[in-house]
């Protein structure tokens, strides 16, 4: 096995990493909604 060969299992993100990723997706959605709402209020 060469130095670059990492067993797949070790490369899998943990449950906590997934939870953080889910939180990022939710935060992005919230940010988009707030920005769109602010843009609409400014433009109206």
Partner 1 sequence: MTLLDWAVLVGTLTFICAYGVWRTRGVQDVEAYFRGDQSLRWPTIGLGIMATQASAITFLSTPGQAYEDGMRFVQFYFGLPLAMIVICAVFVPIYDRLKVYTAYEYLEHRFDVRVRYLGAVLFLIQRGLAAGVTIYAPAIILSSIMGWSLQGTNLGIGLVVIAYTVFGGVQAVSQTQKQQMVVMLLGMVIALIVIILRLPERVSLAQAVKLAGALERMNPVGFELDFNSRYNFWSGIAGGFFLALSYFGTDQSQVQRYLSGKSLAEIRLGLLFNGMFKVPMQCMILFSGVMVFVFYLFTMPPLFFNQSVLAQLATTPQAAEFRDLTQRYAHAHAAQRAAALSYLDALEAHTEPEPAKRALREAAASVREVRKSAKVVIARALPDAELNDTDYVFLGFVMKYLPQGLIGLLIAVILCAAMSSTSSELAALGSTSTLDLYQRLLGRELPKERGLFVSKLFTALWGGVAVSFAAFAALLDNLIEAVNILGSLFYGTVLGLFLVGFFMRWIRATPVLLAALLAQGVVLMVFVFSKLGFLWYNVVGAAAVVLFAAVFQLFMGKDAPSSVQT
Interface ranges with partner 1 (CB under 8 A): 8, 11-13, 18, 21-22, 24-26, 28-29, 32-33, 36-37, 39-40, 42-44
* Buried/exposed 5-37: b ≥16 CB within 10 Å, e otherwise: eeeeeeeeeeeeeeeeeeeeeeeeeeeeeeeee
Query: Nearest approach, Cβ of 2 to partner 1 (angstroms)?
Result: 20
Query: Nearest approach, Cβ of 31 to partner 1 (angstroms)?
Result: 10
Query: Nearest approach, Cβ of 6 to partner 1 (angstroms)?
Result: 13
Largest CA distance in the chain: 63
């Amino acid at each position: 096995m060469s130095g670059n060969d990492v067993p797949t299992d070790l490369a899998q993100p943990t449950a906590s990493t997934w939870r953080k990723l889910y939180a990022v997706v939710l935060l992005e959605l919230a940010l988009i909604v707030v920005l769109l709402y602010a843009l609409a209020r400014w433009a109206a």
